[in-house]
Amino acid sequence: MTTGPIIHIENVHKRFGRVHALRGVNLQVQKGEVLVIVGPSGSGKSTLLRCINRLEEYDNGHITVDGICLDSTQNINAVREEIGIVFQSFNLFAHLTVMDNLLLAQKVVRRRKKEEAKDIALNLLEKVGIPEKAYAYPAHLSGGQQQRVAIARALAMNPRIMLFDEPTSALDPEMIKEVLDVMLALAKEGMTMVVVSHEMGFARAAAKRIIFMDEGQIIEEAPPEELFSNPKHERTKLFLSKVLQG
Closest CB to another protein among residues 36, 85: 85
Dist. CA 152–CA 12, nearest whole Å: 30
Across the strands, what pairs with 57?
Answer: none
From residue 177, alpha-carbon distances to 128, 138, 170, 199 in Å are 12, 20, 13, 10
Q: In the range 21-80, which residues lie near another protein by CB under 8 A? A: 53, 55, 77, 80
Closest CB to another protein among residues 8, 153: 153
Q: In the range 126-185, which residues lie near another protein by CB under 8 A? A: 131-132, 134-137, 139-140, 150, 153-154, 157
Across the strands, what pairs with 217?
Answer: 214
Q: How far is the CB of 102 from another protein (least distance, A)?
A: 10
Q: In the range 94-123, which residues lie near another protein by CB under 8 A? A: 94-95, 97, 104-105, 108-110, 119, 122
From residue 28, alpha-carbon distances to 10, 60, 64, 66, 191 in Å are 8, 17, 10, 11, 16
In this structure, what is the dihedral angle of CA atoms 55, 194, 233, 62, given to the nearest 10 degrees?
Answer: -50
Rg (CA), the chain: 18
Residues 36 and 195: beta-carbon distance below 8 Å: yes
Q: How far is the CB of 121 from another protein (least distance, A)?
A: 11
Indicate whether 85 belongs to the interface with another protein (CB under 8 A).
yes
Q: How far is the CB of 10 from another protein (least distance, A)?
A: 22
Closest CB to another protein among residues 119, 225: 119
Q: How far is the CB of 83 from another protein (least distance, A)?
A: 8
Q: Phi then psi for 179, rounded to 5 degrees? A: -75, -45
Indicate whether 202 belongs to the interface with another protein (CB under 8 A).
no
Residues that bind another protein (CB under 8 A): 53, 55, 77, 80-81, 83-85, 87, 89, 91-95, 97, 104-105, 108-110, 119, 122, 131-132, 134-137, 139-140, 150, 153-154, 157
